[in-house]
Amino acid sequence: MLLDLGGFCISRYSFDNYLYRVAQREGVSFKLNSEVSAINFDGNQFEVQAGSEKMNCDLVIGSFGKRSRIDVQQNRSFVKKRSPYVGVKYHVRNNHPRDLISLHNFLGGYCGVAPVEDEVTNLCYLTHRDNVRRFGDIEEMEREVLYKNPLLKHIFTTSSFIYRKPEVINEISFETKRPVENHILMAGDAAGMITPVCGNGMAIAIHSAKILSEVVIDYCRDRIDREALENIYVHQWNSAFRSRLWFGRNVQRLFGNPRFSTLAVNVARSSKSVANFILSRTHGKSF
């Protein structure tokens, strides 16, 4: 089906580098190869620790992704719950059409195929850790579970893999998070992560950064104080994303269950309005 808003795929590797160059041109200074280990708020000021260096600042934006040591240091509630989801990603070359994103189902998970830059295709799936445990080995699991879907078997066996090993991400959590925690303003996955089945995580990360930037500008121009900044951002974040994330979690439940997912795909295929409804609830509007 066609996406109303259109769409294109780009790797984080290229996009982050592009953003880095733009910000550098605008005068932003970066500290590369430096990991933040602690953030503390005291007396209306933050102290940020990175290696042996300590910095003080007025505002901190947490854009550290879905799971970071900062989540542990800040004692965020979602890190205390174990999550059963495992993500596996490859970069491959194959003849997948450059204007097509496809989503394939298998027992206990789903796999997205999306062309990125330089004739490379991103092949990425999400599964339950029980699937990995059962076979003890990613390749064996792929042969025994993913290959049961003939389309996935075709993609895996006819692609040439650019790296020998996949990138494997454990403990992917879709639990609700808070967009402001201990006065840190969270953006992107740090504020909340939409399930990958919606294919919208990067757009939401960019959109949340836009909403946050506008409120931060008001704060920096002394139009609002810290309390108002935090309240406005929480309100705007919730109105823009909360129900989309909730809907995404429920759509994901359909995938991986053979009976429900076949039914859902058949209904969405035969009824354009059902498919459009699902897209409208997860994809949001242009911004």
Ligand X SMILES: Cc1cc2nc3c(=O)[nH]c(=O)nc-3n(C[C@H](O)[C@H](O)[C@H](O)COP(=O)(O)OP(=O)(O)OC[C@H]3O[C@@H](n4cnc5c(N)ncnc54)[C@H](O)[C@@H]3O)c2cc1C
Given the rule CB under 6 A, which residues bind ligand X? Answer: 12, 35-36, 63-66, 68-70, 87, 112, 114, 124, 126, 169, 172, 188-190, 193, 196, 199-203, 205
- What SS3 class is residue 137? coil
Cα 118 → chain centroid: 22
Least separation in angstroms between CB 158 and ligand X? 21
Least separation in angstroms between CB 123 and ligand X? 11
Of 109 and 268, which has the nearer Cβ to ligand X?
A: 109
Identify which of 135, 124, 93 has the alpha carbon closest to the alpha carbon of residue 195: 124
Sheet holding 184-186, edge to edge: 61-62, 184-186, 180-181
Of 112 and 115, which has the nearer Cβ to ligand X?
A: 112
Least separation in angstroms between CB 225 and ligand X? 27
- The H or E element that residue 109 is part of is strand 109-115
Q: Across-strand partners of 247? A: none
Of 190 and 254, which has the nearer Cβ to ligand X?
A: 190
Of 7 and 107, which has the nearer Cβ to ligand X?
A: 7
Least separation in angstroms between CB 195 and ligand X? 9
Whole-angstrom CA distances from 211 to 42, 102, 187, 217, 238 are: 26, 30, 9, 10, 11
CA gap 287, 279 in Å, rounded: 16
Least separation in angstroms between CB 40 and ligand X? 14
Least separation in angstroms between CB 124 and ligand X? 5
Of 184 and 264, which has the nearer Cβ to ligand X?
A: 184
Angle between helix 258-270 and 272-283 (nearest 10): 110
Identify which of 209, 252, 207, 277 has the alpha carbon closest to the alpha carbon of residue 62: 209
Of 13 and 277, which has the nearer Cβ to ligand X?
A: 13
